[in-house]
């Protein structure tokens, strides 16, 4: 495992502080606030620590306040129900005593049932694409100096975007994005870790799908953007150290909000997870 990946794995490895409470550190990715995917991944890890033998099948969370990346985050897990097949947990994330995220996670015993899925869409092979890190190094000389360090930092999740947008010269495009992603280096055989890592990675570039038709990006002046909620469904097993295609679209934007959907496929075309997110995309 690469050192940068180990750092992320350690970030998700929360410290128990008693009575179904856990604490996690925060990382600074160069954003004004804590990266939402970090809080989601840590919240799922906290809930998973209170469930035995039942993998998570769905997560639904609301972002309540911006997180401060210079402070740790406390996670309170509430054991809502343990039934014959399903367990439900509620998670509240706090900083300085204030809630920054609330979410519910459902876990299910493994069982067989009906099977169908959407067909995997066409996409270029990951080996034919530049990584996001390579693209960032190309545009870094044209970026404000204060952004260059975060643009060129080493990344635990390798992302290879299909037809990437220049964040400093955006053009209007259809509300659709694709990217391949995987963790850098070999990971342990822990399905909970793989789920938490995908939850973390699923927040990258998701919100931006709803910005595509409007020719704006995070760097556009007078644009206020923030994730409002996030949901993920885990359909089938997967590994985060193998390539996954993240296919995203945005069916609607209205009232200062953009709605985004995503499907995650492995290289064999198996649909392993689906996501949704609504985001604030407010033109000031």
Give the Cα separation of 107 and 45 in Å (integer): 12
Residue 198: CB atoms within 10 Å: 26
- Contact (CB, 8 A) for 157 and 183: yes
Written as six digits, the tokens of 198 are 């995908």
Tell me the sheet residues that pair with 188.
none
12/40 Cα distance (integer angstroms): 10
Residues labelled catalytic: 203, 227, 277
Residue 126 CA from chain centroid, whole number: 19
| SS3 category, 196 | helix
Strand, helix or coil for residue 136: helix
The total of other beta-carbon atoms located within 10 Å of residue 125's CB is 11
**Looking at the DSSP assignment, which residues form a beta bridge with residue 21?**
18, 76
Return the structure tokens found at 127.
Answer: 């080996």
Both tokens of 162, joined, read 């299909």
For residue 259, what are the CA distances in angstroms to 40, 43, 149, 164, 216?
A: 18, 22, 31, 20, 16
User: CB of 210 within 8 A of CB of 259?
Assistant: yes
CA 155 to chain centre: 14
- Provide the 3-class DSSP secondary structure of residue 147: helix
């Amino acid at each position: 495992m690469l050192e940068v990946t180990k750092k992320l794995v350690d970030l998700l490895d929360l410290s128990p502080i008693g009575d179904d409470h856990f604490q996690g550190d925060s990382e600074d990715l160069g954003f004004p606030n804590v990266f939402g995917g970090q809080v989601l991944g840590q919240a799922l890890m906290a809930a998973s620590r209170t469930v035995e033998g039942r993998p998570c099948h769905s997560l639904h969370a609301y972002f309540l306040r911006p997180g401060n990346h210079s402070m740790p985050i406390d996670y309170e897990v509430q054991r809502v129900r343990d039934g014959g097949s399903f367990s439900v947990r509620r998670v509240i994330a706090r900083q300085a005593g204030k809630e920054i995220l609330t979410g519910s996670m459902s876990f299910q015993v493994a069982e067989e049932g009906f099977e169908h899925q959407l067909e995997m869409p066409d996409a270029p092979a990951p080996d034919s694409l530049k990584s996001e890190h390579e693209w960032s190094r190309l545009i870094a000389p044209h970026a404000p100096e204060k952004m260059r360090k975060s643009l060129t930092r080493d990344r635990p999740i390798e992302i290879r975007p299909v037809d990437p947008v220049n964040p400093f010269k955006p053009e209007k495009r259809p509300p659709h994005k694709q990217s391949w992603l995987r963790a850098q280096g070999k990971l342990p055989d822990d399905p909970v870790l793989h789920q938490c890592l995908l939850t973390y990675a699923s927040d990258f570039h998701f919100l931006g799908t709803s910005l595509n038709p409007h020719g704006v990006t995070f760097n556009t002046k007078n644009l206020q953007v923030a994730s409002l909620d996030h949901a993920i469904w885990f359909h089938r097993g997967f590994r985060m150290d193998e390539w996954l295609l993240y296919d995203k679209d945005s069916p609607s934007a209205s009232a200062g909000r953009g709605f985004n959907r995503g499907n995650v496929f492995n290289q064999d075309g198996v649909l392993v997870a689906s996501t949704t997110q609504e985001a604030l995309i407010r033109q000031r």
